[in-house]
Amino acid sequence: MHYILFYEYVKDMLDRRGPYREEHLARIARERERGHVTLAGALGDPPHGAAIVFQGAEPEAIESFVRQDPYVRAGLVSDWRIDPWNVV
């Protein structure tokens, strides 16, 4: 089963993300190494959000990822949701 985690960013994300970006990207890389993240990236130009595709991870584990994400903890994510993705 695949799930997509969608983030909505605060308006001044580009100005504020610097101190948290390295840790945020490192956490995504660790999940990729574990085989749980297949794709990830910002949405829009300038970015207004992001999408992270998870495979083989339960929604509870994805929620835990969100709670520990430095962007979320720093208040840079204004909203998020997890949607199941039925890949054909």
38: domain CATH number is 3.30.70.1060
Instruction: Please indicate, yes or no, if residue 87 is contained in any of the structural domains.
Output: no
Task: Render pLDDT for 6-55 as a digit per residue (tens, 0 to 9).
Answer: 999 999 999 999 999 999 999 999 999 999 999 999 999 999 999 999 99
| pTM of the predicted model as reported, rounded to 2 decimal places | 0.95
Q: Does residue 46 lie in a domain region?
A: yes
Q: Measured between alpha carbons, how far is 16 from 80 in angstroms, rounded to an integer?
A: 18
Q: Which domain holds residue 24?
A: 14-80
Q: Is residue 4 part of a domain?
A: no
How many distinct structural domains can be found in the chain? 1
In a domain, 52, yes or no: yes
DSSP string across 3-25 = EEEEEEE-TTHHHH-HHHHHHHH
